[in-house]
Chains A and B, each alone.
Chain A
Amino acid sequence: MLFRNRQFDDKPVALEILGLSVATSGIDRVPILNAIDVTIRQGETVCLVGESGSGKSVTSLAVMGLLPKGALDVIAGRIELEGQNLLDLNASQMRELRAQRISMIFQEPMTALNPVMKVGDQIEEVLDSHTRLPAKEKKRRVVDIMQQVHLPDVERIYGSYPHQLSGGQRQRIMIAMALILEPKLLIADEPTTALDVTTQNQVLKLIAELQESHGTAVLFITHDMGVVAEIADTVYVMRNGEIVESAAVEILLRAPQKDYTRRLLEAVPSLVPRDARPASWADPVLSVDGLTKIYDTRGFFKKGRETRAAQDVKFRIKPGRTLGIVGESGSGKSTVARCVMRLIDPTEGRIRVGQTDIAKLGRSELQPHRKHIQIVFQDPFRSLNPRWTVGDSLIEGPLNFSQSRKEALDHARELMELVGLPADALGRYPHQFSGGQRQRIAIARAIAMRPDILVADEAVSALDVSVQAQVLQLLDELQEKLGIAILFITHDLRVAAQICDEVVVMQHGRIVEHDTAENVLSQPRHDYTRALIEAAPGRHWDFANFRELSLHQTETA
């Protein structure tokens, strides 16, 4: 069964949002939500999907009555929970209602749990706030819900602090906390976005399972169409504070009515690898051999440990080709990128750029080789100096390699056009650009050096899916035009599938699989690779083409 395809028309309405409008506080109000309507029935999962700034999180906070005071206000509409308008309730009535009738779980389980309280106490606090139970009974119920969310070794975890748990465990604690009083409605705000794909999969399953056993209605907020396909009964697409379209999940994915929805779906990268390019016979521009990075935190009088962040990593990249390194967090993929850039010093191994091994070069010996290899970082908001104009950022590198300022600026203008930005924007500051535009500028800055190799460290991960598609497109075009080799670091198999010729899969600092993208994605040999692929949400659906994937493309051997 592709989708959950359940029917809820006969079920009573759990939550109804009617004409809800939210705007910023103060005199010149800026509208954030514009008269939106959402209906959730008992036992139903409604997905609110949209790109950043679409207003989906504000919607959830408005329902919880947790809009930041003095910043955002509800200016119109009703929020009815089983017929009762929540906007009429005072603060203490709202407080009573939370956790009892509506619960919420958040995106970042690390920051959403109080770091200085034991998790068991944090769950128990819900009971303390809303019930009067004897200590023993409380403990029993907490342990019970912890078992229900499939936490191992409940006794130990009960007394643990959040930082002692894994991300998945923390999110399970959040879920346990949310569901312990069996609320009618669970709001889940991007609950899996910060998790690795395999953990995400487990958490999604858990939410679905508990929902069915408790009959809870779920308002699920996400930007990820894969997750939507996985979990939704009904989907609302939001954009700029308005509902663009809503429909049952299958209807929406098969036959989106609105252009925006269509474009959104088309931008979702496919898990089907790109068509293989002809093999290149050129000499590799980058060869890495036996690369090892060990962090040693031990010291005099100090207990510590040796962390092998990367071990015996080996790969080559030829001009005009893209090698992807895929792995979950902590797999060592970023360590490899930073070693290759010599932003950190490798413990062992060779890094040959062209003919030179740069692994052991000193700071000044390294300088002339810097221009051959450039990097684009993940966070578009931090990778440009906010105090520098775009033009200054673009010419920083060339000036270091004795280009004249005028020459460099002329080149910068060309680069701006190359990355699809107006050349006259050189005098502006980074904050005047959107995230996608900044990432384009970062790319332009990298290629201003005319490098042989471009390292893209999660370069599209922070971008909305439509922007992500454009940036991937740009990288592809640049590679065509300039023949650059790209080392592409990502956690997202879909992205890797779209851009890489070869894929390296890393786990615990080691390479577990290295093959062409096609082979890795359709015939994974290593269990870990297989698990990664299987965990990818919505992997059976070809979003861009509004249809299922044909079996041979997805089934593993």
Chain B
Amino acid sequence: MTFIPNGFSGSLLAKSRSIALAAALAASTAIVPAGTALAQDGETITAVMHSGLRVLDPIITTAHITRNHGYMIYDVLIAMDENFEVHPQMAEFEVSDDGLTYTFTLRDGLMFHDGEPVTAADAVASLNRWGERDSGGQLIFDVTESLEASDDKTITWTLSEPFAPLLDIVGKQSAVPPFIMPARVAETPSSEAITEYVGSGPFTFVEEEFEPGVSVTYAKFEDYVPREEPANWMSGGKVVNVDRVVWTTMPDAQTAMNALVSGEIDYLEQSQIDLLPILEASPDVVVEVRDPLGYQTMGRMNFKHPPFDDEKIRQAALMAMGQESVLATLIGNPEYYSLCGAIFGCGTPLASETGSETLKAGGDPEGARALLEEAGYDNTPVVLMQPTDVTTLTAQPVVAAQQLREAGFNVDMQAMDWQTLVTRRASQAAPADGGWNIFFTNWMVPEISSPLINPMVNGRGDDAWFGWPEDADLEALRDEFIAADDAETQAEVAERIQAHVIETVNYVPLGQYLTVQARRSNIVDMIQSPVPVFWQIDKSE
């Protein structure tokens, strides 16, 4: 693809016969391992992911890139298909009639990358560690009587009271699924990151070639035995058709696009919507939506400090905000965003848009102004945190600030890098003393699709998610949801939760948007799923 004039490299070398260069070259020959060459042989897929992989422990963090990494090298007991239905993956499962005993039986042929067979003890240790970290897992362990390996293949999970959503939580696709690790690794305290990266998944982690934040290489695990069923989302057979998958990071979106167009890479997980015309112009590139659910973007207020400790003022703020402007600014092309007032995400079983009329109608500044007056807003500044270094989060605060100002709020928009923001949002101090009033973030829709896993839907005060609403009614509704044993009841409770969340302005859903992936046209058969996975995918010649 690239044109290099004849003799070019030779003449440059001849000129630079300097000791320094020679030394640098010689030294690099000796020390640098494989480097990050984007080799173009047919057996390797080079993919640019949405962010660099740095944290290798998929249990300790909720970061998507680490979860994706987890799906590469680890396997899960049970997994969901595109209809949110749970299927066996590593294990068949059985539920006792009283709903108190769950039995998982590992299938044959499971093997860790170090050649050891996967045992029930490994699974128990992994589930225990996951249970300490994952909020859904914590709910299960709250009612767990015992979790033990009955024999090498059988895991018995006994509950003290029925917990209907157990399988949904264990089989969830995001944010932290219970990946199965060898017991010796899973014994690492859940507050410390693991240091050994051995799984039983379809790919092995090539540790020598790992460059944190830059590049990670996976090799096909030859001894992996896929299931017979066709792959669907995370369920079904994970048949690997390529030898190696290399994830690299390109901090500059245009660089990545250009690299894809010129064939230097095979796959781009997320492309800037505004730049799609460049990709679409290239005949060798296919642009598509992999995950039809996409992301929800939202705002969260701080219940602890004025002015948003007042429900009326929160309601005024919600009334001031309109989704269209936020999404149009963030995404641009309306094909790739949709207005959605459902806190559990549109397109999910529990979706309901109750109460979101003003949000979807572009906001009601007049109504907000009136409400604000009624609430006796005293012009207390609203500290709105804006991250400067995360492109998917820069637009929401800016647009929201303008909308709030139009409704009469006194907005103090404070710019900061994402790290400062995540630290500061954990601060319960008054906004003037380093606290905050409102911030924005995005979720993958499956991560918020149910009251069990949606982090915001939690009214436990200081133990709740940042913003710390103290809301007994919400907790009661959640208990009701857990207790519900059929889908209709669940949907009914979920709708009441939706109404309650909007009423109390627990958080402000600002709509949904899709991410667009792009691939060279010779990359085929990729699974449609929120998680980009590299089984089944093939590279045709």
Direct contact of A and B (CB under 8 A): no
Please report B residues at the A interface, Cβ cutoff 8 Å. Answer: none
Please report A residues at the B interface, Cβ cutoff 8 Å. Answer: none
